[in-house]
A and B are shown apart, each in its own frame.
Chain A
Amino acid sequence: MSTLTTESQSVRIVLIGTAVLFLSLFLLLPLLVVFQQALSQGLALYFSALIDPDAWDAIKLTLLATSIALPLNLVFGVAAAWCIARFDFRGKSLLTTLIDLPFSVSPVVAGLMFVLLFGVNTPQGAWLDAHGMRVVFAVPGIVLASVFVTFPFVARELIPLMQSQGSDEEQAALVLGASGWQTFWRVTVPNIKWGLLYGVILTNARAMGEFGAVSVVSGHIRGETNTLPLHVEILYNEYNFVGAFACASLLALLALLTLLAKSLVEWRQTRQILQAKSLTLEVRLNATNRSSQPA
């Protein structure tokens, strides 16, 4: 039976069925294949592929790049969102556009950009090389590329959130005598904490999984400048399928963990809202009881 806002049973089945089929084909199936291939030669081979020294170096490098990119972009994202959501200044729309740049630029182009900027044949590259610092085909380059591609996540999450919340609460805090920092920590941060958390989760996932930009910048030196995604490619090109899929399964696990974390955050948020609502009812009921009691 269909009403104005719902579809009939058959239409619903078709639509949901199509969605499930699509998701299964393009998401579930590939994920399952990764795990199936990784475990196809047995558990022993699977684990030995993971504790292989080169694989282990790749894991460590991935973690290093992420652990630098994450706090940097967190601080930058909050600062940029604060500027854009709270102030009007010349160049504001330019800043907003620049923040979106890493999204519109192909990751390969981003990597190439750093090679061209810091290659040994450029003045700054030569200067750095003379002082014993290499950027391109070395760890710093990989970190830079990771920072670049995860640039927008926190900012883009926070800007609309802070704009919709308005600055009234912060103004109220200032009038009450709070300093800038006190206002930030005690009023702003608690209000944006869910947006922050979500931005961090996204940044983390992207930093760990980045391939294109890091590939161009890294030089693929096994054991030194290989991140986990790059290592997967190397293993696959060597026909070491079990190894490749084993490392890929790690990345797939990461994707699943990210999804789980995101769902947890959303669930906590919904629970808080529901708790507050039920408390409202309680408070209102108490009020009614109180007012109906003799004075």
Chain B
Amino acid sequence: MSIEVRKLSKRFGDFTALDQVDLKVQDGELLALLGPSGCGKTTLLRLIAGLDLPDSGQVLFSGVDATSRHVSERQVGFVFQHYALFRHMTVFDNVAFGLSVKPRHQRPSKEEIRQRVTDLLKLVQLDWLAHAYPAQLSGGQRQRIALARSLAVEPKVLLLDEPFGALDAKVRKDLRRWLRALHDQIHLTSVFVTHDQEEALEVSDRVVVMNHGRVEQIGAPDEIYEHPASPFVTQFLGDVNLFHGRIEQEQLTIGPFAQVVEGYQDSERAVAYVRPHDLDVTREAQGALGHGRVDHIHAVGPLVRLELRQEDGAPIEVALAKERYRELGLAPGDLVYVTPRKISVFPDAEDYVI
């Protein structure tokens, strides 16, 4: 089932959580809603589920207006951040709940329910926990049971609200991959909310980046990482270095650095963003984008992270391959120059405030 959201708005008192948001989710895709706290992503998810009602706008399922449909009639599955398992019921009863509350004429027989629940528990590889209580499970197990419970009623759409937010890093990574594998298996239209950009980029088919109740950019993970549409998206998706410069007659100038930028308007306040791993370090000053003294060297892991200090005190972060680092033979205090392999330019950028 596809989902469409048209001009959806929601306010809580004076605070605008969503501002005229338009979005289309294709049938069978795994979509991530990504953004910082307070950007409206959870509000959007809950409006799609029907757990909250919008102030204006529409929610459509496969082209049919479902805005006024009650949450219990929307056939959506919802996985909460803190699992919301029924604490006084066993795992089996939790997963069977959705089937057991169906109206009499739609309810499957006890045997059918038992079979379906067992199949689902096998799917999440927790069939041996059927008679345990939620309090006895670990976080990762609880989340998988919550997922099994939401799948029991065969929803047309699966909505997940920061499903791995309450888990520790290793479990989060494992479950992330497990979710992706599950999605590849069952092809259920799924939308999940996260503030972790690594998670969004790794798991989803498309990512929607949101900020202040609006959509900043929608696209496939590699597309938005390589071609961010705004300074916010650039800065949100990972570490980035900032350089101020000018654009004159389609030429970007930052100090001694110059690059042709086609199709850009003249601007006195242009900003260039360069990711740490897109910077090369040399000892030659020619055509350098910037320069600084080596402040810190973190040589742990596959990349060597360098922190350079410019004359005005501003830092430049560089991520070098280990071989290149050894080639250069750098030591703290050395004066080095950086040249970019790839830059994102935004004319007239405002400063991004945390």
What residues make up the interface of A, taking CB atoms closer than 8 Å to B? Answer: 168-169, 171-179, 182, 186-187, 190-191, 276, 279-280, 283-284, 286-287, 290
What's the minimum C-beta distance from A131 to chain B, rounded to whole angstroms?
A: 45
Chain B residues whose CB sits within 8 angstroms of the CB of A173 once the complex forms:
86, 97, 101
Contacting residues of chain B (121-178) with chain A, CB-CB under 8 angstroms: 128-129, 132-133, 135-136, 149-150, 152-153
Chain B residues in 8 Å Cβ range of A169: 84-87
B49 touches A175 (CB 8 A): yes
User: Are A176's CB and B128's CB within 8 A?
Assistant: no
The answer for the CA separation of A179 and B100 in the assembled complex, in Å, is 12
Q: Which residue of B lies closest to A183 (CB)?
A: B101
Q: How far is the CA of A174 from the CA of B87 in the complex (A)?
A: 16
CB atoms of A179 and B128 under 8 A apart: no
B82 touches A168 (CB 8 A): yes
> What chain A residues lie within 8 Å of B69 (beta carbons)?
none
Does B281 sit at the interface, judged by CB under 8 A?
A: no
In the complex formed, the residue of B with least CB distance to A177 is: B72
Contact of A283 with B153 in the complex, beta carbons under 8 Å: no
B326 contacts A by Cβ under 8 Å: no
B136 and chain A: residue at smallest CB distance: A280
Q: How far is the CA of A271 from the CA of B51 in the complex (A)?
A: 36
A175 pairs with B71, CB closer than 8 A? yes
Which residues 27-68 of B sit at the A interface, judged by CB distance below 8 A? 49-51
Chain B min CB distance to A171 (Å): 6
- Point out the residues of chain A lying under 8 angstroms from B82, CB to CB: 168
Q: Which of B50, B98, B129 contacts A176 (CB 8 A)?
A: B98
Considering the complex, which residues of chain B in the window 66-104 have a beta carbon less than 8 Å from any beta carbon of chain A? Answer: 71-73, 76-78, 80, 82, 84-89, 97-98, 101-102
- Contact between chains at A175 and B86 (CB < 8 Å): no
- Assess whether B51 is in contact with A179, with CB atoms less than 8 Å apart: no
- Chain B's interface size range is 20 to 34
Residues of B within 8 A of A (CB): 49-51, 71-73, 76-78, 80, 82, 84-89, 97-98, 101-102, 128-129, 132-133, 135-136, 149-150, 152-153
Q: What CA separation (Å) do A177 and B156 show in the bound complex?
A: 13
A-B contact pairs, 14 of them (CB 8 A): A168-B82, A172-B78, A172-B85, A175-B49, A175-B71, A175-B76, A175-B150, A176-B149, A176-B150, A177-B73, A276-B135, A279-B132, A279-B133, A290-B128
B98 CB to closest chain A CB, in angstroms? 4
Q: How far is the CA of A177 from the CA of B155 in the complex (A)?
A: 11
A283 pairs with B101, CB closer than 8 A: no
Nearest residue, chain A, Cβ from B106: A177
Across the A-B interface, give the 4 residue pairs with the lowest CB-CB distance, nearest first: A176-B98, A280-B136, A168-B84, A172-B84
Q: Which of A176, A279, A290 is in CB contact (< 8 Å) with B136?
A: A279
CB < 8 Å: which of B80, B128, B152 contacts A171? B80
CB-defined contacts of A187 to chain B, threshold 8 Å: 86
A276 and B153 contact, CB distance less than 8 A: no
Q: How far is the CB of A164 from chain B (nearest CB, A)?
A: 13
- Residues of the B chain whose Cβ atoms lie less than 8 Å from the Cβ of A279: 132-133, 136
Residues of chain A within 8 A of B132, CB atoms compared: 279-280, 283
CA distance A187 to B94 in the complex (A): 11
A147 to chain B, nearest CB (A): 31
Judge whether A175 and B101 touch: CB under 8 Å.
Answer: no
- Separation of A113 and B216 alpha carbons in the complex (Å): 63
Give min CB distance, B190 to chain A, whole Å: 15
Bound-state Cα–Cα, A246 to B89, Å: 48
CB contacts (< 8 Å) of B129 on chain A: these are 283
CB distance from A185 to the nearest CB of B (A): 10
Closest B-chain residue to A171, C-beta based? B51
The answer on a CB contact under 8 Å between B101 and A172 is: no
> Across the interface, which residues of B come within 8 angstroms of A190, CB to CB?
88-89
A176 in contact with B80 (CB, 8 Å): no
Closest-by-CB residue of A relative to B51 is A171
**Given A169-B84, A169-B87, A191-B87: A176 in contact with B101 (beta carbons within 8 A):** yes
- In angstroms, Cα B89 to Cα A276, docked, is 12
Chain B residues near A280 (CB-CB < 8 A): 132, 135-136
- The reply to whether B84 and A176 contact each other, CB–CB distance below 8 Å, is no
Q: Nearest residue in A to B88 (C-beta to C-beta)?
A: A190
Most chain A beta-carbon neighbours within 10 Å: one of B86, B89, B133, B135: B86
In the complex, what residue of chain B is closest to A278 when comparing beta carbons? Answer: B136
A276 in contact with B136 given A175-B76, A177-B98, A290-B128 (CB within 8 Å):
yes
| Chain A residues with CB below 8 A from B97, complex form | 173, 176, 178, 186
CB-nearest residue of chain A to B76? A175
- C-alpha spacing A284/B89, complex, angstroms: 18
